Structures are given as C-alpha cells and as structure tokens.
C-alpha cells in the first residue's frame, strides 16, 4: 500500500468519528474553547455524564482530532485533588482526504513559491488582489456580518469585550509554516476584503503575528454585536445537535 493511500485511509478513519452527532458536538465545543477543556466541562456543555464524555473525548484523541494534556486545577480540594486533570484541545495537525487522490497543498506551495520568486512583485499584487476580492464576496455572502464571514472562511474568530477579534485558526496553516510572509499578507488582504464586503467602516485588520493563531487581528468591531453573533451561533449549533 502506498504512503499516500495509507495516509488517506487513516484520515478517513479519523474524520468518520465526526459522523457521530455527540462526538461532533464535543469536538466543536473543544475547538471553540479558548483553552484546554476538562471532561467535566465537556460533559456539562453536552448535558451528558462525565464517564460518557470521557469515552468520546478519548476516542477523538485516539483519532488525532484532539490532543491531550495534564494539569493540576487550582481551587480543588479533597481526595484526588492533587491528581492532574486530563484536558483536551483541538489538534493543530490537519486531517484531509480526497477521492480520487488530490494534492492541493502541493498546488498552494507551488503558487506561493511563484510569488516569492517573482522579483517584480506583480504576482504578489495579483494574488493579494484576488484574496481581497474573495474576502469581499465572503462578506456579502454573510449578509454584512464580519464574525460570521470570518467563521465561514475557517478563521475560528473569538470576539473580546473590547471589540478586538482574534482569529484562532489559520486556514492556510500548513503552507504558512514555510512561506509565512506571503501567507500572512494574503490573510491580511482576505480579512480586509471581508470587512469591506460587510460594509463595516469602523473595523480594521492589522498584522499581529502569534505562533498559536492567525497573524491577523480585527479591531473596532462592535463588541455587543460580535458577542451576540457568536452566542447565537453557539445556541443554534447546540439545538441542531440535540
């Protein structure tokens, strides 16, 4: 069996875990959380028992969809208080499968390499303009909702009370690891296009590189609106999976 075929079969097996509604709900709860999640927190969010939550979380971890860490939780007392809690986080490793086999990552890498080798800067300008156009379309498609458009594009936005939105996921993470300058610039133009497409004249995007999230941060989005959007989407998601 070829390496590519074995990899695709492993990816397909991992993704099949999300076909179970409860596991998908637990996965998305962990993925949407700001930090590692305990079994108790996941159980409470899904309205199930801790033992059942632990079983499904461990299965998701075995499939490579979640990562596991251990940490002593502050404020705990009584028997077992000193034992580290098992915590779960969204895995940064990407899982994808295509049938028949396709290699879009290679295509993206070749295109980014072309940008880097073009001394005139014309290719980079064309790519950034295309990213801005795509962002404007995404903003209009989301009905002028910046947070919804960012979420639809895979950025996993997190709105703060100060109107600052951090993007907890880079949709182009694999390519960005070796071509950060080009990809970060493309991300910036894409997010700027989203803001323009949404018609939000107050919001603006800036580059604030961070190894644990997307390099772009959005400022001046109305905090009540942003928070309400995320809360409403979370409620709809829970209802859809009940």
Q: Are residues 67 and 140 in the same domain?
A: no
| Any domain includes 102 | no
Pairing between β-strand 165-167 and β-strand 85-90 as defined by DSSP bridges: unpaired
Domain that holds residue 40: 3-90
| Any domain includes 106 | no
Residue 69 sits in a domain whose CATH number is 1.10.10.10
Q: Are residues 184 and 123 in the same domain?
A: yes
Q: Are residues 81 and 144 in the same domain?
A: no
- When divided into structural domains, the chain yields a total of 2
Q: Give the chain's residues under pLDDT 50.
A: 1-12, 223-228, 230, 241
Mind spelling out the 3-state secondary structure of 95-161? Answer: CCCCCCCCCHHHHHHHHHHHHHHCCCCHHHHHHHHHHHHHHHHHHHHCCCCHHHHHHHCCCCEEECC
Q: Which residues, 6+ apart, have CB-to-CB distance to 96 below 8 Å?
A: 11
What pLDDT shows up at residue 8? 45
What pLDDT shows up at residue 79? 54
Tokens of 138: 């995404």
What pLDDT shows up at residue 82? 65
Are the C-beta atoms of residues 193 and 130 closer than 8 Å to each other?
Answer: no
What pLDDT shows up at residue 38? 93
Q: Are residues 24 and 137 in the same domain?
A: no
| Any domain includes 95 | no
What pLDDT shows up at residue 210? 84
| Any domain includes 108 | no
Q: Are residues 75 and 131 in the same domain?
A: no
Q: Tell me which residue has tokens 């999300």.
A: 18
| Any domain includes 104 | no
Q: Are residues 67 and 28 in the same domain?
A: yes
What pLDDT shows up at residue 224? 42
Summarize pLDDT for 107-138 with one digit per residue, the tens. Answer: 889 989 999 999 999 999 999 999 999 999 99
């Amino acid at each position: 069996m070829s390496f590519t075929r074995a990899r695709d079969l492993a990816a397909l097996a991992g993704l099949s875990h999300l076909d179970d509604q409860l596991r998908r709900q637990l996965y998305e709860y962990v993925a949407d959380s700001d930090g590692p999640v305990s079994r108790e927190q996941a159980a409470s969010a899904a309205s199930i028992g801790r033992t059942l939550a632990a079983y499904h979380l461990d299965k998701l971890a075995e499939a490579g969809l979640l990562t596991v860490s251990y940490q002593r939780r502050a404020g705990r007392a009584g028997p077992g208080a000193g034992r580290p809690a098992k915590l779960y986080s969204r895995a940064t490793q990407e899982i994808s499968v295509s049938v028949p086999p396709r290699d879009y990552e290679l295509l993206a890498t070749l295109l980014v390499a072309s940008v880097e080798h073009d001394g005139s800067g014309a290719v980079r300008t064309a790519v950034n303009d295309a990213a801005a156009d795509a962002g404007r379309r995404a903003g209009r498609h989301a009905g002028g909702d910046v947070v919804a458009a960012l979420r639809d594009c895979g950025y996993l936005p997190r709105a703060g009370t100060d109107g600052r939105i951090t993007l907890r996921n880079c949709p182009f993470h694999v390519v960005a690891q070796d071509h950060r300058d080009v990809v970060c610039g493309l991300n910036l133009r894409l997010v700027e296009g989203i803001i323009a497409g949404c018609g939000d004249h107050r919001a603006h995007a800036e580059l604030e590189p961070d190894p644990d999230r997307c390099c772009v941060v959005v400022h001046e989005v109305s905090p009540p609106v942003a928070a309400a959007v995320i809360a409403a989407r979370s409620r709809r998601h829970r209802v859809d999976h009940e």
